[in-house]
């Protein structure tokens, strides 16, 4: 009866909405009443506000009478999910979750462009039956919130059950660790490590392209986890079928669960994101300024954040109030020739000028600390302020490997949180850059 109800609902509502929101509910039918259980408040509210009327109408149509519908929160069973394999080895394997607590569902702003991805992520994080939405694949271009959602899923899983063994990993790190494991002849430990998690979050799977050995190992780990009903959540910068150099068996396996797109944000979402981020970094912008920026920058959320940091840096420096005129003046270049002014080449020049080192040294091989730190700063800014990928930046820094850039990015990201002097350096370089 419920299945008939779902099928009928699929004819009156978008099918993906039924799949994401209504199908995962637990259902109990008793005589003339029905209880629907959701795994968290957000889903419960969504059902109440968006779908309850439809559900009642369809039930009436099918049964010929009014059916009482009760909505309830599901009791989540917090028993850790372990496999015999884990039990045997868990004492020796240390797994760091690498979760960033700053990225949560609470501070992820919903808009038309990400509603499905957000719903699927929430379901995956809170579903009591792991097979729902498993594996989950989130795909979309750069700077749209895929990594944010991965961390939010991991943080939510840990919040609901601290005993879950969650692990976030960028695909590049997986590849690097595997290369090291091969060199050190410690492949068994490497395999065990990732097979003993209860939720594996793998970012930017397109980096596996043409890395056959890593793909093969990941494929087996992936199967192992799915068979053991462990969550696997993956992101990719496009639909994986379009990634050249990914093995077809892996592509097909990725399609076993649910694949959800994340698109560039619409205007209203951009404004909402700007306001939220401005509050977060304590920069005071009016509605007028938020609307102005949202109109100018319309693709990438990382760019919106870059614009805010630039404004903040300038306003701090000049002690001026951020009104529309000032915003236009400061961000003029950023808007007009976003990709010409804020190019990797200009970032390199500005950084070299600020630290008083030669451009050739910055791009050269020197391992002196006085050169390495400026180089890492320039790499960090290149990733923050341009849409170049890690390999592309590596190439522009004297043909370096993308892992060097990734390392520099992470290192600077950590240091900037701890050292206020370094943040000031960063702001001053941005000033030189857009002067
Ligand atoms: N809907 C959103 N609400 C709030 N912040 C968001 C949202 N979407 C993205 N962001 C923010 O934008 C920035 C870039 O997002 P994120 O790193 O998740 O992008 P991505 O899609 O993983 O990009 P890449 O593929 O380049 O790694 C982050 O600081 C993130 O917090």
CA-CA distance, 126 to 133, in Å (whole number)? 11
HSE-CB for 293 with a 13 A CA cutoff: 35
pLDDT digits (tens, 9 = 90+) for 132-156: 678 999 999 888 999 999 999 999 9
The arithmetic mean of pLDDT across residues 60-87, rounded, is: 67
pLDDT digits (tens, 9 = 90+) for 179-193: 888 888 888 888 898
Domain with residue 230: its CATH number is 3.40.50.300
pLDDT at residue 11 tops 90: no
Query: In whole angstroms, what separates CA 402 from the centre of its chain?
Result: 20
The arithmetic mean of pLDDT across residues 370-379, rounded, is: 95
Pocket test for ligand 1, best of 105, 144, 380 (most atoms within 8 A of CB): 144
The arithmetic mean of pLDDT across residues 252-278, rounded, is: 88
Which residue ranges make up the annotated binding site? 143, 145-147
CA-CA distance, 399 to 387, in Å (whole number)? 18
| 65 shares its domain with 92 | no
Please, are residues 405 and 376 in contact by the beta-carbon 8 Å criterion?
no
| 310 shares its domain with 417 | yes
Residue 38 lies in a domain: yes
Domain final residue, candidates 37, 53, 73: 73
Residue 79 lies in a domain: no
The two structure tokens encoding residue 233: 């959540």
CB-based contacts of 329, cutoff 8 Å, min separation 6: none
CB-based contacts of 64, cutoff 8 Å, min separation 6: none
CA-CA distance, 335 to 430, in Å (whole number)? 15
| 15 shares its domain with 163 | no
pLDDT at residue 87 tops 60: no
| Per-residue model confidence (pLDDT) at position 333 | 63
Nearest residue (CA) to ligand 1, atom 31: 148
The two structure tokens encoding residue 386: 């341009």
> Tokens 């992101």 correspond to what residue?
235
The arithmetic mean of pLDDT across residues 261-278, rounded, is: 91
| 234 shares its domain with 354 | no
| Per-residue model confidence (pLDDT) at position 91 | 45
Q: Which domain holds residue 69?
A: 2-73
| Per-residue model confidence (pLDDT) at position 76 | 56
DSSP-derived 3-state class of residue 345: helix
| Per-residue model confidence (pLDDT) at position 167 | 94
pLDDT at residue 226 tops 80: yes
Residue 277 lies in a domain: no
What is the pLDDT confidence band of residue 122, given thresholds at 50, 70 and 90? very high
pTM of the model: 0.64
CA-CA distance, 201 to 150, in Å (whole number)? 6
Query: In whole angstroms, what separates CA 133 from the centre of its chain?
Result: 17
The two structure tokens encoding residue 34: 């029905």
Pocket test for ligand 1, best of 111, 240, 302, 405 (most atoms within 8 A of CB): 302
Average pLDDT, the chain: 85
| 314 shares its domain with 427 | yes
Comparison of pLDDT for 38 and 118, the residue scoring more: 118
Comparison of pLDDT for 312 and 363, the residue scoring more: 363
CA-CA distance, 221 to 196, in Å (whole number)? 10
CA-CA distance, 141 to 153, in Å (whole number)? 19
Nearest ligand 1 atom, CA 103: 31
pLDDT at residue 343 tops 50: yes
Domain final residue, candidates 73, 92, 112: 73
| 247 shares its domain with 226 | yes
Q: What is the DSSP string of 301-343?
A: HHHHHHHHHHHHHHHHHHT----HHHHHHHHHHHHHTHHHHT-
Which residue ranges make up the annotated binding site for ATP? 143, 145-147
Q: How many domains does the structure of the chain reveal? A: 3
The arithmetic mean of pLDDT across residues 310-329, rounded, is: 84
pLDDT digits (tens, 9 = 90+) for 280-311: 888 889 999 999 888 888 778 888 888 888 88
| 107 shares its domain with 201 | yes
Identify the residues whose C-beta falls under 6 Å from ligand 1. 103, 108-109, 114, 142-148, 204, 237, 273, 301-302, 305
| 226 shares its domain with 291 | no
Spatial CA neighbour of 77 closest among 128, 3, 133, 36: 128
Residue 272 lies in a domain: no
| 378 shares its domain with 305 | yes
| Per-residue model confidence (pLDDT) at position 79 | 46
Nearest ligand 1 atom, CA 118: 1
| 220 shares its domain with 93 | yes
Name the least confident of 163-177, 323-337, 381-395: 323-337
Domain with residue 430: its CATH number is 1.10.1750.10
Q: What is the DSSP string of 367-430?
A: --HHHHHHHHHHHHHHHHHS---HHHHHHHTTS--HHHHHHHHHHHHHHHHH-HHHHHHHHHHH
| 180 shares its domain with 311 | no
Distances 263 to 114, 138, 238 between C-alpha atoms, Å: 6, 10, 11
> Tokens 């007028």 correspond to what residue?
288
Distances 296 to 328, 333, 387, 415 between C-alpha atoms, Å: 10, 11, 16, 31
């Amino acid at each position: 009866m419920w299945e008939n109800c779902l099928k009928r609902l699929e004819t009156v509502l978008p099918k993906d909405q039924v799949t994401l929101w209504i199908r995962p509910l637990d259902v109990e039918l008793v005589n003339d009443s029905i209880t629907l259980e959701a795994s968290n408040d957000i889903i419960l509210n969504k059902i109440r506000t968006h779908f309850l009327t439809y559900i009642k109408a369809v039930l009436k149509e099918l049964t010929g009478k009014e059916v009482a519908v009760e909505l309830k929160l599901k009791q989540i069973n917090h028993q850790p999910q372990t496999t015999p394999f884990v039990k045997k080895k868990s004492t020796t394997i240390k797994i760091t979750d690498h979760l960033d607590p700053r990225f949560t569902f609470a501070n992820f702003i919903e808009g038309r462009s990400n509603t499905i991805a957000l719903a699927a992520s929430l379901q995956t994080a809170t579903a009591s039956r792991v097979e729902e939405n498993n594996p989950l694949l989130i795909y979309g271009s750069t700077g749209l919130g895929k990594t944010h959602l991965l961390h939010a899923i991991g943080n939510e899983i840990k919040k609901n059950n601290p005993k879950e063994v969650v692990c976030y990993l960028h695909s590049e790190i997986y590849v690097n660790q595997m290369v090291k494991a091969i060199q050190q002849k410690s492949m068994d430990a490497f395999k065990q490590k990732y097979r003993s998690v209860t939720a594996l979050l793998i970012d930017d799977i397109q980096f596996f392209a043409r890395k056959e050995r890593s793909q093969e190992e990941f494929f087996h780990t992936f199967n192992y986890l799915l068979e053991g009903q462990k969550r696997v959540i993956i992101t990719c910068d496009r639909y994986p079928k379009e990634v050249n150099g990914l093995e077809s068996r892996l592509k097909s396996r990725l399609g076993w669960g649910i694949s959800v797109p994340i698109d560039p944000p619409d205007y209203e979402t951009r404004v909402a994101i700007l306001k939220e981020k401005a509050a977060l970094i304590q920069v005071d912008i009016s509605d007028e300024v938020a609307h102005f920026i949202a109109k100018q920058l319309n693709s990438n959320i990382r760019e919106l954040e870059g614009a805010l940091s630039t404004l903040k840096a300038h306003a701090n420096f000049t002690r001026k109030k951020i009104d529309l005129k000032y915003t236009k003046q400061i961000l003029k270049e950023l808007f007009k020739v976003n990709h010409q002014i804020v190019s990797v080449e200009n970032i390199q020049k500005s950084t070299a000028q600020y630290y008083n080192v030669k451009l050739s040294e910055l791009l050269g091989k020197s391992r002196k600390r006085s050169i390495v730190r400026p180089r890492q700063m320039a790499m960090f800014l290149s990733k923050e302020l341009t849409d170049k990928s890690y390999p592309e930046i590596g190439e522009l820094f004297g043909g370096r490997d993308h892992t060097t850039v990734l390392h520099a990015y992470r290192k600077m990201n950590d240091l900037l949180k701890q050292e206020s002097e370094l943040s000031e350096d960063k702001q001053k370089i941005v000033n030189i850059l857009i002067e």
